[in-house]
Amino acid sequence: MKCSICQGIQDELPTIVWKDEHWLLRHSTETNIEGYLILEPLRHLLDFSQATPEELSGYGKAVGMAMRAIHAVVKPDRIYTFSLGESAPHLHVHLIPRAPDFPRTYKARGVMQYPLVPGVNAAVMPEICEKMRKELKKQAALLG
Ligand SMILES: [Zn+2]
């Protein structure tokens, strides 16, 4: 079975903003929401029930760092977090910043209807990823 997430990790996508021995963060290319990160385990897991104790404790730090970086870089009012595992059977947690001026229709559960196109402007993406990398490096140092 070919897993698109395992393949992306192996290909070292340019949208990867942070990685440790268990977890990886990349910027989503699915919508035009800047600062939308996806947290994935490096190992192929369907959900948290298959994670090792080390992976589970690393998750807490990773998700905390990711949220701190999102707050610092895009200053949202909220960060939506969920994992569905339907488009790829590899655990991936969506971390979606909800800006103060986010369209009302897409707030809260409405975020599931948010348009998948267009994606983040390709000219802006490297800059956002670089800001995220810098912030995540700072947060990793602070959290130890
Ligand atoms: Zn996989």
pLDDT tens figures, 89-100: 999 999 999 999
pLDDT digits (tens, 9 = 90+) for 14-50: 999 999 999 999 999 999 999 999 999 999 999 999 9
pTM score: 0.95
Task: Tell how far the Cα of 58 is from the centroid of ligand 1, in angstroms.
Answer: 18
pLDDT of residue 2: 84
Mean pLDDT along residues 100-111: 95
Task: Tell how far the Cα of 105 is from the centroid of ligand 1, in angstroms.
Answer: 33
Q: Can you tell me the distance from the alpha carbon of 108 to that of 86, in angstroms, rounded to the nearest whole number?
A: 20
Q: Can you tell me the distance from the alpha carbon of 48 to that of 50, in angstroms, rounded to the nearest whole number?
A: 5
Task: Tell how far the Cα of 96 is from the centroid of ligand 1, in angstroms.
Answer: 21
Q: Can you tell me the distance from the alpha carbon of 33 to that of 65, in angstroms, rounded to the nearest whole number?
A: 19
